Amino acid sequence: MQFSLKTTRVSLPVVIFLFCAWIASLIFVWYGRAPADLDDQYLLQRQFGSVVPSASRAVVAIETERLTRRGAVHQSIGSGFIVKPDGFILTNEHVINDADNINVVLADKRKFVADVVATDPRCDIAVIKIQAQNLPALSFAPPDQLRPGQVVIALGNPYGAGADGEAVATYGRINRLNQKPSASLDPQNDRFYDNLIMSTAATRPGSSGGPLINAEGQTIGITTAMGTIVGSDKQFGFAIALDSNTLRIIEQLIAGKTVGHAFAGIVPADANNEVRKELGIKDISGAFVWNVALGTPAQQAGIQIGDLIKSIDGQKISNSMDFTSFINRCQPGQTVDIELLRGANGQSRRLTFNIRLTQRTQEELNGYIEEAQPQSTRITWGMEIRALTPWRRQNLNLPPGQPGVLVHSVAPGSPADRQNVKPGDVIIGLGRYKIDNLNDFDNVAPKYRTLPPVKIKKSPTPIR
């Protein structure tokens, strides 16, 4: 199932218009008698509404201010909920991202300035804190016990309607669990949602960060986005499930710790008919290795572009999303066994690689992405050549103006391998020609039928 996802933080200038439109739509639905959803909401409210007053006491409205370069103030709204009586509040990272000021309005209408304790952009979770004591706090439901059809209630601050201290409640049921809107990380913010709850509890702009609770008033998720099924106009709410892994991350954030996420160095893709022909297989399930970043655990272990990953630690990998999700739930320093198919010309063999996962920064991710651009890649004489980017120069501890092109990989037994060219080397000369950049390489390489003597600049530090 494919769906379009949209996070629900909203800027204040559009709140009044959206709020009026929302109220108008509710009036239209009520008098137009679109009864299926309305009747279900009414019945659920009558049956389970008693838990709302108590739970709402722990829900907060969040208002953020961000100063622009021109001195203007950009305001946004979101939601959150108290998880500890001494002022710890849980919300979405995207609600408070880049905020210069964070204001919190409690259910009793007191208003506080909040400080950021810790954030995890990957999971889109943040913990903020206000200077207050003896606050009502929500408890977490036992993890990993959700089921489709279960009644849920979303509490929050849609369109700023909860800014008066009274949270808005919407009722619904869980449609699907373990939803993943994307097979890969969002390169803009390193975000990856791999365990979303999809429900009919309506969420609107400003709901992000609020709690999704069960019929007992326990928190089961963090409202994060609203979305529509592709090909349908029906809207659903999406919340981050508070499973065992997410609760572990929340504990770290409350303690003010930085959360580490495992990194293998593989860019996966789904296999296609070309892969089937190349490997000589019928079943193309698995994660196709579209790219392997230089100096990463996968590259150092020997995994290559064109491999087809079939399992990790004995768990079947059916597609690229399975691969991303599995690695996302691993820990830096953890060792995994990756089983894959490798081959060419219609023949393949099964191999297993033992990889010790590491972690990397957002800056490193941006560097790997820049380096992987197809227009910056050349393959000849058994070596893969890429442009030498400013980030890679810094990564290899080379001078900022270091000329040359980067050797990204070398095929065993190839002409480059026989000249002892290694991944991470910087080629600064071919034969009698100087190589300053990729254009020079493109102009010089065609002059030779076989690989001429290669002049190499070695990095003073190991590749990573």
Examine residue 463 and state whether it is found in any structural domain, yes or no: no
Shared domain check, 307 and 216: no
Examine residue 462 and state whether it is found in any structural domain, yes or no: no
Shared domain check, 334 and 369: no
Q: Note the pLDDT of residue 6.
A: 60
Q: Which of 257, 282, 306 is the last residue of a domain?
A: 257
Examine residue 121 and state whether it is found in any structural domain, yes or no: yes
Shared domain check, 166 and 77: yes
Ramachandran region, residue 96 (left: φ > 0; alpha: ψ -120 to 50; beta: rest): alpha
Q: Which of 212, 228, 257 is the last residue of a domain?
A: 257
Shared domain check, 147 and 252: yes
Shared domain check, 233 and 92: yes
Q: Note the pLDDT of residue 97.
A: 93
Q: Read off the CATH number of the domain in which 204 is found.
A: 2.40.10.120
Shared domain check, 184 and 91: yes
What letter represents residue 431's amino acid? G
Examine residue 464 and state whether it is found in any structural domain, yes or no: no
Give the pTM: 0.83
Tens of pLDDT along the chain (464 residues) come to 555 556 666 565 544 434 444 433 433 333 333 344 555 666 777 777 788 999 999 999 999 999 888 888 889 999 999 999 999 999 999 999 999 999 999 999 999 999 999 999 999 999 999 999 999 999 999 988 899 999 999 999 988 887 777 889 999 999 999 998 877 778 778 899 989 999 999 888 899 999 999 999 999 999 998 877 666 667 789 999 999 999 999 999 999 999 999 999 999 999 999 999 999 999 999 999 999 999 999 999 999 999 999 999 999 999 999 999 999 999 999 999 999 999 988 889 999 999 999 998 888 888 888 888 877 889 999 999 999 999 999 989 999 999 999 999 999 899 999 999 999 999 999 999 999 999 999 999 999 999 999 999 988 776 76
Q: Note the pLDDT of residue 439.
A: 95
Number of domains in the chain: 3
Shared domain check, 156 and 104: yes
- Residue 217's closest CA among 86, 369, 64, 56? 56
Range of the domain at 400: 362-457
Shared domain check, 184 and 321: no
Shared domain check, 134 and 81: yes
Q: Note the pLDDT of residue 271.
A: 94
Shared domain check, 175 and 120: yes
Examine residue 434 and state whether it is found in any structural domain, yes or no: yes
Q: Which of 220, 240, 257 is the last residue of a domain?
A: 257
Shared domain check, 229 and 279: no
Q: Read off the CATH number of the domain in which 425 is found.
A: 2.30.42.10
Q: Note the pLDDT of residue 301.
A: 95
Tell me, rounded to whole angstroms, the distance of Cα 12 from its chain centroid.
Answer: 26
Shared domain check, 228 and 101: yes
